[in-house]
Copies of this chain bind each other. A is one copy, B any other.
C-alpha cells in the first residue's frame, strides 16, 4: 500500500493547531511541501524554525500553489480568508478547516465561495489546550484525538474520503456529524464550560477579598478553571459564532443552578444529595469508560 500524498499543503494560521498540523504532516511523510500563511511575523518565523512549514506565502500564492489548503484561523476570520482565496482557487484544490464552530463557517463558505463551496470539506479537530502559538506546537497533537467532519451536500464522496484520510494521516479518529448536531453538542460539552470557567475567574477577581481567595485555591479550583486560561479572542469568536446553541445550553444550565440554589436556601438536604449523586455517578462513569 502506497502512502497518500497531499502534494503542496498550505496552512493558514500557524498557531498551536496550524503549526502542530505542519509538524504532524511532515512527520507522517504525506506531503510534498508545507506552506504557512500568518498574520504574525514572529509566529511564522517560529513555525519555520521548528520545521512546521517549509516557507511563508501570502493568501493569494497559497490559493494558487496548493493542492490542499487548511484554514486554522479563528472562526471570525474565516469569511475574509475565503474571500481572499476564492478568485485564485484552482478547481483541483481542496479546502478543509479547524474551526471550533461549523454552522457559521459553512455559511461564510457558501456565501463567499459560491459554486466553489463544493471544494470545502469542513472539519473540527478536538485538540488544543490552554497554550497557544507555534511555540507550543507538537507533532502528536492530533494523535488519538477526534476530528469531526461535517460534509456539505455539495461535497463529492471522493473529496470527503480524501479529507477523512488526511486527518487520519496525522493520527486522528474521524467522526461524521451534521453541522447542526456538531454545534449543539459542542455548545454543551465545550463552549459552555469555557464560558462558566471564565465567569468563575471573573467573579473571584471582582470580589473585595480577591487576594485572600486566590491565596487559598486548591486542586479542585485549578482543574475547574484550567480552561479559563484559553485565548480570549478565540472564545469570543466562538461565543458570537455559535450564540444560538450556546444560549440554549446556558439557559438549561442556569435552570439547574437556580434549582440547586433553591434547594440550598430551603435547607433541602435530600434534594441536594439526589442531584449530586446523579451527577457524581455520571462523572465517575466517564472515567470508567
Chain A positions near chain B (C-beta within 8 angstroms) = 76, 126, 129, 146, 148, 181, 184-186, 188-190, 192-207, 209, 212-214, 216-233, 235-237, 239-240, 243, 246-247, 249-250, 252-254, 256-257, 260-261, 263-265, 267, 269, 272-273, 275-280, 282-284, 286-287
State in angstroms the CA–CA spacing of A250 and B278 once bound together. 21
Write 26 A-B pairs (CB below 8 A) sorted by A numbering: A76-B269, A126-B218, A181-B212, A193-B221, A196-B224, A198-B280, A199-B257, A201-B282, A203-B252, A206-B252, A214-B286, A217-B286, A223-B223, A223-B224, A224-B224, A224-B227, A228-B279, A228-B282, A229-B284, A229-B287, A232-B279, A240-B267, A243-B265, A247-B264, A250-B257, A254-B257
**Distance (Å) between the CB of A288 and the closest chain B CB?**
10
Picked from B188, B190, B217, B236, the residue with its CB within 8 Å of the CB of A276 is: B236
Q: Is there contact, CB below 8 Å, between B226 and A223?
A: yes
B198 and A213 contact, CB distance less than 8 A: no
Copy count, this protein chain: 2
Q: With A and B bound together, what is the CA distance between A263 and B129 in angstroms?
A: 25
Of B205, B230, B280, B286, the contact of A282 (CB 8 Å cutoff):
B205
